[in-house]
Amino acid sequence: MKIVKRRYVLKFPPQSGDKPLSYVLVKEYDININILKAEVIPGKRGNLLLELIGRKSNIDKGIEYLEANNVVCSPLDKKIKFNQDKCINCGNCTAVCFAGALTMHPETWELQFNKKECIVCELCVKACPLNLFDIDFHNGN
């Protein structure tokens, strides 16, 4: 079976801190996890950007398991908005994008955005002079 990679932003409710949710993903669903970004406030909330690697069917079952435990799971590409129509291709965002999600095309010098490489560091939000990026890492939907 084919192995796939999927990136999700997970929002954990306060009461989920006592459950080994990531352990279950690894052990029970045979999913490798890579934590790309984490924001945890004990007793209040937790947000994680996870890269899940495994069989698609196992990842789907793992997401179902998380959602059954009150974890809001949103595909990363649903959390990133970029208004490319208004982009002037200045390249400011590429200078801060260490993940390589934002690059300039070597021939046309037009900005290219690969959402699959984004790790929601949010540096592009601050670097863009036109405020064309909106990254929703902190909200559940």
Q: What range defines the domain where residue 106 resides? A: 81-135
Q: Would you say residue 11 lies in a domain?
A: yes
pTM assigned to the model? 0.73
Q: Locate tokens 């890269």: which residue?
A: 51
Torsion, Cα 28 34 40 43, to 10 degrees, reads 0
> Do 99 and 51 share a domain, yes or no?
no
**Under 8 Å between Cβ of 11 and 99:** no
Q: Which helix (H) or strand (E) holds 38?
A: strand 32-41
Tell me what pLDDT residue 77 has.
75
Given 77, 106, 126, the domain boundary residue is 77
Rounded Cα distance, 136 and 122, in Å = 9
Tell me what pLDDT residue 79 has.
74
Name residues whose C-beta falls within 8 Å of residue 82's C-beta, 6 or more positions apart in sequence: 113, 132, 133, 134
Q: Would you say residue 140 lies in a domain?
A: no
Q: Would you say residue 22 lies in a domain?
A: yes
Residue 86 sits in a domain whose CATH number is: 3.30.70.20
Of the pLDDT bands very low, low, confident and very high (cuts 50, 70, 90), residue 140 is very low
Tell me what pLDDT residue 49 has.
87
How many contiguous H segments (helices) and E segments (strands) does the chain have? 4, 8
